[in-house]
Amino acid sequence: MPQKTIKLTIEYIGTNYCGWQFQPNGVSIQEVLEDRLKKITGRKVTVYGSGRTDSGVHAEGQVAHFKTEAALEAPLFQRALNHLLPEDIVISESVEAPAGFHAQHSSRGKRYRYTILNRKYPSAFLRPFAWLFPNNLDMDLMREAARHLAGTHDFASFQAAKSKTQSTVRDLTSLDIVKSGDTILLFFEGNGFLKHMARIMVGTLVDFGCGKKRPEEMKEIIEARDRKKAGRTAPPHGLCLERVFY
């Protein structure tokens, strides 16, 4: 049988997983998908994601690909997988991709959304999906600081300590902050993200929103290329991978 490449778009609630990628301690999304694909095709299948998501991080539009010789038509993988997957993982699309397609290497960029619930008491509905932040956050101060982050920079200050990456230069094409009621949404779009980059940017912007740092200090934090100069890493459950661009 000729081999074909299948591109999957995947929605998941990250709460009960150790993240996208295989880990010795806990069940990963990748592992669950490979297990179900083995049931469907009768063979070991390797699933390649567009990138890792941390434990607890959600996805509305993660993308992955795999190669198969199975005769099953591409759209039927969606139905077969959704039948077998747990309730917190859903395939929203399965299509045949050109032979050279690679979920990670073909990606042109990604959009992440971070949700902050800015009030004193929790929400039953948002609890698994938003960082509950009780202190008042000044939107103007956050937006002013955010303006320094957008663009092409060396984001070494916003990378998890001990990460080993060849280049820490990335293009953050946009960073929008929207407030609606008690909910603050931060949208990050860029050609690539370093480990914990979105979460460290959120943790740092929150320091500006509280008035702990003056907006012009953001430039110094970027230029320092030092993780210690940036703020805390915001908790994973507020983060959602919205879309991967190809």
* Binding footprint of its own copies on the chain (CB under 8 A): 11-13, 58, 60, 78-79, 82, 87-92, 121-125, 127, 129
Name the residues annotated as catalytic: 54
Q: For residues 123 and 152, which CB has a smaller minimum distance to its own copies in the complex? A: 123
Among residues 11, 9, 27, the alpha carbon closest in space to that of 19 is found at 27
**Distance, CA of 157 to CA of 148 (rounded, Å):** 13
Q: Which two tokens stand for residue 183?
A: 């909910």
Beta carbons of 158 and 229 less than 8 angstroms apart: no
Q: For residues 44 and 125, which CB has a smaller minimum distance to its own copies in the complex? A: 125
Least distance from its own copies to the Cβ atom of residue 17, Å: 11
Least distance from its own copies to the Cβ atom of residue 121, Å: 5
Q: For residues 33 and 89, which CB has a smaller minimum distance to its own copies in the complex? A: 89
Q: For residues 59 and 149, which CB has a smaller minimum distance to its own copies in the complex? A: 59
For every residue of 138-182, DSSP letters joined together read -HHHHHHHHHHHSEEEE-GGGS-TT---S--EEEE-EEEEEEETT
The number of C-alpha atoms within 13 Å of 181 and in the hemisphere containing its C-beta is 4
Among residues 188, 196, 111, the alpha carbon closest in space to that of 146 is found at 188
**Distance, CA of 169 to CA of 129 (rounded, Å):** 29
Least distance from its own copies to the Cβ atom of residue 183, Å: 13
Least distance from its own copies to the Cβ atom of residue 8, Å: 12
Helix, coil or strand: residue 15: helix
